């Protein structure tokens, strides 16, 4: 891995942990109970890596997509295998695990709010870390096969020769935890600027 890319991953690791702390506070305040978010790993990943992290190419996943605007542009996607997403809905709604059994309107609304909190927390932490003005878009809920959603990000970014950063995320409350994948993809034209700021 080139030094500049390693610096970027190191910076994004710091940002991810700060974003996780902020998002945990936001979720805890919203839900009235302690929610913590852990970041086991941050890495540059391929399409296959991303699909494997959410159960394989043909697994049905539920999540959110936000675009990044401002001084740099890019993409943020938070994905869960569908069953894990439903666990998150129960966690967010203070319900016993297993209460939510299908990805209906309530589930999509809850996952949209979760993606908004987590995605915005990450974007704001990145803006503070590298002293940029960044604006996350409102979240779009996405619900499809993993390969279709992952391909949409990778096609955009890899066609321009860029890297896609994958951040494993684990959400935990007193009843247990559920895991998802946060994909961060700065537009390649912005990478040199990010790498300079990260160095």
CA 199 to CA 34: how far, in whole Å? 35
Q: What is the mean pLDDT of residues 19-43?
A: 84
Read off the pLDDT of residues 83-104 as tens digits, 9 standing for 90 and up.
888 888 887 787 888 888 888 8
Looking at residue 2, what is its pLDDT? 60
Looking at residue 40, what is its pLDDT? 86
CB count within 10 Å of CB 163 equals 18
Name the band, by pLDDT with cuts 50, 70 and 90, for residue 166.
confident
Sketch the domain layout of the chain as residue ranges: 3-198
Closest CA relative to residue 87, chosen from 105, 62, 64, 66: 62
CA 136 to CA 122: how far, in whole Å? 9
CA 149 to CA 121: how far, in whole Å? 22
Q: What is the mean pLDDT of residues 146-173?
A: 79
Q: How far is CA 105 from CA 47, 79, 110, 143, 158, in A?
A: 29, 17, 9, 12, 33
The pTM of this model reads 0.85
CA 64 to CA 28: how far, in whole Å? 20
Least confident window among 1-5, 47-51, 130-134, 194-198: 1-5
**Looking at the predicted structure, is the pLDDT value of residue 3 above 70?**
no
Looking at residue 70, what is its pLDDT? 94
CATH class, domain 3-198, is alpha beta
Structure tokens at 163: 């890297």
**Looking at the predicted structure, is the pLDDT value of residue 177 above 90?**
no
Read off the pLDDT of residues 37-76 as tens digits, 9 standing for 90 and up.
888 888 888 888 888 888 888 999 999 999 999 998 988 9
């Amino acid at each position: 891995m080139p030094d500049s890319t390693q610096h970027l991953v190191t910076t994004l690791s710091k940002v991810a942990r700060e974003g996780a702390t902020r998002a945990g506070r936001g979720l805890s305040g919203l839900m009235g109970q302690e929610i913590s978010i852990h970041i086991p790993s941050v890495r540059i990943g391929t399409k296959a890596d991303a699909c494997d992290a959410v159960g394989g190419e043909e697994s049905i996943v539920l999540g959110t997509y936000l675009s990044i605007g401002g001084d740099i542009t890019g993409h943020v996607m938070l994905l869960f295998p569908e069953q894990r997403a439903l666990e998150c809905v129960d966690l967010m709604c203070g319900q016993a695990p297993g209460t939510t059994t299908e990805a209906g309107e309530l589930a999509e609304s809850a996952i949209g709010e979760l993606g908004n909190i987590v995605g915005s927390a990450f974007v704001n932490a990145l803006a503070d870390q590298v002293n940029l003005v960044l604006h996350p878009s409102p979240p779009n809920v996405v619900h499809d096969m993993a390969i279709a959603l992952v391909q949409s990000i990778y096609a955009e970014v890899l066609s321009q020769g860029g890297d896609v950063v994958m951040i494993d995320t684990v959400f935990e409350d007193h009843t247990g935890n559920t895991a998802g994948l946060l994909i961060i993809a700065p537009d390649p034209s912005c990478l040199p600027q990010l790498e300079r700021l990260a160095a």
